[in-house]
Amino acid sequence: MKELPTGLQVFEKIRTSGAIYVDKTDMIHKIVSSAKMQFFISRPRRFGKTLLCWTLNALFSGKRELFEGLAISKTDWTWESYPVIHLDMSKVETDCGVDGVRETLIRQLKKIAAGFELDTGGLTTPGSILDEIIVEVSNKPGKPAAVIIDEYDSPFVEFFNKPAMAEEIRGIMRGCYSQLKANEPHLRFLFLTGISKFTKTGVFSKLNNLNDLSMDEEFGTLLGYTEEELHEYFTEHIETVAKKRKVPVDELVELVRHNYNGFCFDGIRKVYCPFSILNFLQSGEFANFWMESGSTRLIAEYMKNRSLTVEQFRGMKVSLKFARDPGDIETSPPESFLYQAGYLTLRDRIGEVFSLDYPNTEVLEAMSELVYKNMINHGGDFIDLRTPLLHALYEGKTELIIHTLNRLLAGIPYDDYVKSAEQAALYSPVKITTQEWLYRSTILAFLRGCGVLTFGEMHTNQGRSDLLVIFNGIPWIIEIKITRDNDCAAKAQEAMAQINSRQYDGPYANAKKLAIAIDEGKRVIGEWIAG
């Protein structure tokens, strides 16, 4: 059984180590053999952009032996070598602010120049050094250069919570990248990757001839693993995990799909995030690897500063124009930021309109955990709430569930989130008040953040229950009512009557029913009925 390429991002290391390489070289060949020469693609972190860049590096370096047996080896590619300028912008240090970005960028460029035995000692700006490198390396062998820039936006994306500083750093990048346009005659090939889409007014204002592959249907699966690729390359590993977990392979595959599949970049095909699926196959555990894959702290700050909730983005309609050009990541609306960061993905294209949603359970739970940690105001560790909740669900102790939810509700500054709730209620497919939406969304985020399988507005043939919770194989049907008139008992009875009359529990064997009445004045669950 071949080794998993977990933690490997350099193409040459994967190929020489004998680890699994998911062959994307048929699509790569279409790119490099095109009459077009300058390309860009945006994808979230940990999606294989760096591996793609190292693959292109090996290709233009003429390392034919590394491609033996791959799709491109069966094509008419000439295997001619070119000078390769490979710049990884994620290595630019951001801890020391603008000056640190400039200095480390210069240092990285000078290191590249030294590799070509070029003396750039008299040059003091990133743009002038890059200009010198491109011109000189293409003149030496008389061949144009292949320029590969990975994570072009990493330096200023790190400052998305500080737009003024981000713009200053963007100016440094603009001065550097402008040399790519100026030196077009010296370029054989140009490829850039990043998280954020480039804009005509951003760092590429002078580089207007890039071919954006980000939403190109032909290259929608260039990064990430398709369902077919998962089975083609990782069947033995899937079978090993299934044996370890003592479950049928089909059942495991369904769980894997539910947890890790679902990213969609072209509006058509879904893919797995390589980082998550490889770590799952390595560990055999359904952990939340997405939380480890990016700047969680920065995203948590972003969500908290804007009092954002989870449900307000689900099903949000966006245009094709938005999908292609959502704007600068640090100044655009939250849905643009979350879309580019990979927390939201495309769904349900109708004409030129898409819906946004979370790609899968893993990302939804990661977002839910971030949000409810932000919402809890009492300063305690979330484990203080998570542990008793899971215990209560496991033991079927309804009273402890209510007690834990009341502790949750008591620590949340609801007034901070009313604006988000108003917006979400406006776009909700069902009639719902702002306060009802906010309470339901809070409890929903809390449960999901605890790793509990939870659905909102779950359909039956009679209507929609507020929440469906499934834990340890037991479904819980939860209906929530809000009151300001001290009639919690009556509202709880009304909620239970609704569960029974509309038979929300009908599709589920051995379902538990829970009717909740929240006292809006006291912001606690005033009455509840279990059934």
Pure H helices in 61-162: 97-115, 126-139, 154-157
Handedness of CA 420, 425, 426, 429 (dihedral sign): positive
More confident residue, 198 or 177: 177
The domains of the chain, with CATH numbers, are 11-219 (3.40.50), 227-287 (no CATH), 296-357 (no CATH), 376-412+452-530 (no CATH)
Strand 345-350 relative to strand 353-357: parallel, antiparallel, unpaired?
antiparallel
Region 64-84: mean pLDDT is 96
Cα 468 from Cα 428, distance rounded (Å): 18
Q: Give the phi and the psi of residue 484 in degrees, each rounded to 5.
A: -115, 0
pLDDT tops 80 at residue 421:
no
More confident residue, 232 or 462: 232
Locate 82 and state its tokens: 């070119």
Three-state secondary-structure class, residue 354: strand
Distances (CA, A) of 345 to 269, 321, 404, 447: 11, 15, 32, 22
Region 100-106: mean pLDDT is 94
Identify the CA nearest to 190 among candidates 170, 169, 207, 215: 207
Strand 38-42 relative to strand 345-350: parallel, antiparallel, unpaired?
unpaired
Tell me how far apart the 2 most distant CA atoms of the chain are, in Å: 85
Distances (CA, A) of 193 to 28, 42, 166, 177, 199: 14, 6, 18, 13, 14
pLDDT score recorded for residue 378: 46
pLDDT score recorded for residue 140: 83
pLDDT tops 50 at residue 390:
yes
pLDDT tops 90 at residue 129:
yes
pLDDT tops 70 at residue 454:
yes
Locate 220 and state its tokens: 């929608």
pLDDT tops 50 at residue 379:
no
Locate 453 and state its tokens: 């399988």
Cα 124 from Cα 453, distance rounded (Å): 55
pLDDT score recorded for residue 382: 64
End-to-end alpha carbon distance in the chain? 51
Cα 300 from Cα 500, distance rounded (Å): 40
Cα 210 from Cα 36, distance rounded (Å): 9
More confident residue, 16 or 364: 16
pLDDT score recorded for residue 206: 61
Locate 391 and state its tokens: 């215990």
